[in-house]
Amino acid sequence: MPVAAAGDDAEVQRDVTRETIEQYADLTGDENRLHTDPEYAAEGFFGGVVAHGMLGAGLISAALAALPGDIVYLSQDLDFAAPVRPGDTVRATAEVVEDVGDDRVRVETVAEVVDGDDAETVIDGEAVVLSVPHEN
- Residue pair 127/111 in contact (Cβ under 8 Å)? The answer is no
pLDDT at 136 over 70: no
Interval 75-98: pLDDT, tens: 999 999 999 999 999 999 999 999
All structural domains of the chain, each given as residue ranges with its CATH number in brackets, are 9-132 (3.10.129.10)
pLDDT tens figures, 13-56:
999 999 999 999 999 999 999 999 999 999 999 999 999 999 99
Angle (nearest 5°) at CA 116 between 81 and 14: 65
Q: With pLDDT > 70 as the criterion, what percentage of the chain qualifies?
A: 99
- The angle, 0 to 180 degrees and rounded to 10, between the axes of the packed helices 53-65 and 18-28 is 90
Mean pLDDT for 52-75 is 97
Three-state SS for 110? strand
